[in-house]
Amino acid sequence: MSNEQIHTREFRARTVLEAVSGELDPATVAEKYGISPDELIRWAEEMDLDPEQLSRLRSAAAEHHSSGEEVWLDVLDDQFSSEVETGVASDYQNMSRLNFWTVLGVSFVLLTILSLMAIYSYHAETVNRNVSEQSQYYEVRELQERDQEHLDSYGITDLDNGLYHIPIDESISRMVEEQ
């Protein structure tokens, strides 16, 4: 059971009035009845005291808290006790779990990077092959057009030896006529 259930309303009212009367310090009154100063203030707030009396009670309790009293904690765990004394708590990292997730995360990042590099390489190779095929096709077509143009035109092949070229169709027609 908590202290609030043990103490009656009358007891609470007498205790608060004694603390507010000023004869004893509120911390002393609280100690006298085995309650905390904070509990005494809570009881006073429930009683709807004069705001001035309530503020005096709060300031007296605050002075008691800030008086620099040393607080002793009974601790069963030595590790916790040293943490309380130094004010620093250990983090208690689970190193095997931390190592596992680190390796897993780094592996995932590396696999992602290698996959992206493979995809880029594949696409770059495909684009280069397509450009090469189009370029070769273009060159072949250009050669065919130039050769066809040469076959369909009149011109001088070797002026010193008197060699001329004529369209192939005309050359075939002349050969047929000569025979």
Query: CA nearest 171: which of 147, 146, 152?
Result: 152
* Mean pLDDT, residues 162-173 taken together: 86
pLDDT digits (tens, 9 = 90+) for 25-67: 788 888 888 888 888 888 888 887 777 888 877 777 777 655 5
Task: Report which of residues 124 and 86 the model is more confident about.
Answer: 124
String of DSSP letters for 144-177? HHHHHHHHTS-EEEETTTTEEE--HHHHHHHHHH
- H-only helix segments in the chain: 3-6, 9-21, 26-33, 37-46, 51-65, 78-86, 95-151, 168-178
Asked if pLDDT for residue 177 goes beyond 80, the answer is yes
Q: Is the pLDDT of residue 122 over 90?
A: yes
Q: Is the pLDDT of residue 123 over 50?
A: yes
pLDDT at 78 > cutoff 60? yes
166: left (phi over 0), alpha (psi -120 to 50) or beta: beta
pLDDT of residue 2: 46
Percent of the chain clearing pLDDT 70 (strictly above): 89
Residue among 70, 76, 43, 75 at smallest CA distance from 57: 43
